[in-house]
Structure 1
């Protein structure tokens, strides 16, 4: 199946949904000057084609002691980068994995409640992945901005 590019109407619908995914199709249609059926069909197509996913997101500011842990990973051989990244992406506690350029090969992001939980996670889970040479962590402790449109990152 060939995926269509998002056009201006799709992007306008997404802008409304990014502010409040529970907004009615009718309200979006009125605001954009199209029919409710058009909005409904566009949302369904974007979901069916995997271009969007509508989901509930926890409010990071409401968690008891949220600590965002950025785990910088160095692999033993560059040929192992893809395998290590795939192994990391299969771990439910990790919300973001990217191959990077620079000092580290991979960045993984997870949420922890305290340093002990992070240490346990690193020692019992991350270090057990074949190809992981070294990890370094940075902790995000004060959230200045959290754009929910970027929620998949955290």
Structure 2
């Protein structure tokens, strides 16, 4: 199958890879009553068609260097004339993990991880509010993460 869509067999192969991407093609094939070559070929096709990417995902504590990182959502109000440029500047900040222009309450939404409230205040006052076009920043701290399924993969532009 090669129409840019995942069929039922592809989905089942992905279920195995989502649990453990290091699982062997042979193990997947045995559990699905397929040949190893079939599994290998399907994985190779999905990779070559950019349908999947097998990669390591580091623990957020390792990525940020914080023992207990706090996730913060930054709702940014910006001058509408230059919102694209403002959003690009915000996305270039090294502590920003996600940035998008929005419709609705905020013009830009950014997500970051911080180690302390003081660090958040510093980032907002020194880094974000000094960017041309930023008018106001609303912050929301995630106090308890209920669900985050990193297996959904990257958010595509």
Report the TM-score, using the length of structure 2 for normalisation: 0.76
Equivalent positions of 1:4-153 (< 5 A) are: 4-60=4-60, 64-77=67-80, 79-150=81-152, 152=154
Between 105-114 and 61-70, the greater mean CA deviation after superposition: 61-70
Mind listing any 5+ residue stretches in structure 1 that lack a counterpart? none
Task: State the SS of the aligned residue for 2:72.
Answer: strand
Cα distance, 1:101 vs. partner? 2.4
Between 129-138 and 92-101, the greater mean CA deviation after superposition: 92-101
Moved >4 Å (runs of 4+): 60-63, 150-153
User: How far does the alpha carbon of each residue in 1:121-151 deviate from its partner, in whole angstroms, 9 at most, with x for none?
Assistant: 2233323433222211101122233323246
Mind listing any 5+ residue stretches in structure 2 that lack a counterpart? none
The count of residues paired between Structure 1 and Structure 2 equals: 151
Q: Distance in 2 between matches of 1:50 and 1:130?
A: 37
User: How far does the alpha carbon of each residue in 1:63-114 deviate from its partner, in whole angstroms, 9 at most, with x for none?
Assistant: 621200101111201x433333333333343222233222112211111111
CA change 1:27–1:128 in 2 (3 A) is farther
Q: Distance in 1 between matches of 2:45 and 2:122?
A: 42
Q: Which entry has the higher C-alpha Rg, 1 or 2?
A: 2
Conserved? CA contact 2:73–2:141, under 8 Å: yes
For the aligned residue pairs, the C-alpha RMSD in angstroms reads 2.8
Task: State the SS of the aligned residue for 2:40.
Answer: helix
Q: Distance in 1 between matches of 2:42 and 2:91?
A: 30
